Amino acid sequence: MRKIEKLTRRLFLKGGLWTALLLLWHGFRGPTKSWAQETDPFSGTDFVGKTREGKHHSFYINFWKPMRRINAETWTLKISGLCEIPKTFTLTELRDLPTRSQSSRLKCVECWSARAEWGGFSVRELEQMVRPHASALGVVFHCGDEYKEYLSREALNHDRVLLVHSMNGEPLSDAHGFPLRLIAPTKYGYKNPKAILEMEYVDEQQSGTWSKIGPYSPDSTILPGTDHPLEYGKNPRRIPGGEITDY
């Protein structure tokens, strides 16, 4: 009985020492996925979320989870994963990249669509600086609302795909994905992630948030069918598939 008690005490001391060392090490290292050790990209307690009200009746808004507004001063775009030169970019640096403008329609898988003039830069501009490995097949986008989406590099380097920071001549609003979102006009809206925090180069195809839980195709090419454009009173129109260019 005495022996067991001593052993227990010794074990307890040993265990305590290991725990203390582990905590100390973990404290230095910091949590693996938290903004505690990095700059908090969010600000205040004001949230943006799904809405079709007010000015958004002509361009609906959807978010995976309500999201605190992003702070332009502290936000950076992190490029990580399979690339030679992982980097972070400030918003000013991204706005200084060669910008182009395009008018394209965002087609939601829930039937509606709306057109806007988007301003931004091609993924190629970033890839010249971070140099993805040959094994990098695609990018996982990590967003401020905890949404994740995957696009292949082939899809991302399509001529009509843009990383955009302006919409209709104005900086992106919080609701439309400030400070940076993807516009891929041949894909349904869920493949156009908003409020991007990080782009991670990966070597295998992955399913995004919606494709994992619902009947949403991981490819998400807009199929031939019927569209209900908001600016035309949702009156149904036939679409041939791919980018909607007729109206």
Instruction: Name the site residues for other proteins (rule: CB under 8 A).
Output: 109, 111, 188, 215-221, 223-226, 238, 240-242
Q: How far is CA 95 from the centre of its chain?
A: 18
Please, what is the minimum distance in Å from the beta carbon of residue 226 to other proteins?
A: 5
SS3 183: strand
Which lies closer to other proteins via its Cβ, residue 89 or residue 188? 188
Please name the residue that has the structure tokens 């205040």.
44
Which lies closer to other proteins via its Cβ, residue 54 or residue 233? 233
Do residues 145 and 66 touch, judged by C-beta distance below 8 A? yes
Which lies closer to other proteins via its Cβ, residue 35 or residue 232? 232
Which lies closer to other proteins via its Cβ, residue 171 or residue 242? 242
Tokens of 74: 């502290």
* 94-105: burial string, b at 16+ Cβ within 10 Å, e else: bbebebeebebb
Please, what is the minimum distance in Å from the beta carbon of residue 122 to other proteins?
A: 19
| Residue among 173, 183, 166 at smallest CA distance from 61 | 173
Please, what is the minimum distance in Å from the beta carbon of residue 218 to other proteins?
A: 7
Which lies closer to other proteins via its Cβ, residue 44 or residue 215? 215
Q: How far is CA 41 from the centre of its chain?
A: 14
Please, what is the minimum distance in Å from the beta carbon of residue 186 to other proteins?
A: 8
Please name the residue that has the structure tokens 């669509």.
113
Which sign, positive or negative, has the C-alpha torsion 159, 160, 163, 165?
positive
| Residue among 208, 180, 211, 203 at smallest CA distance from 78 | 180
Which lies closer to other proteins via its Cβ, residue 42 or residue 190? 190
Q: Exposed, middle or buried, 34 (CB in 10 Å: 0-12/13-18/19+)?
A: exposed
Please, what is the minimum distance in Å from the beta carbon of residue 246 to other proteins?
A: 9
Please, what is the minimum distance in Å from the beta carbon of residue 139 to other proteins?
A: 19
Do residues 133 and 84 touch, judged by C-beta distance below 8 A? yes
Please, what is the minimum distance in Å from the beta carbon of residue 109 to other proteins?
A: 5
Tokens of 159: 């001529």
Which lies closer to other proteins via its Cβ, residue 215 or residue 233? 215
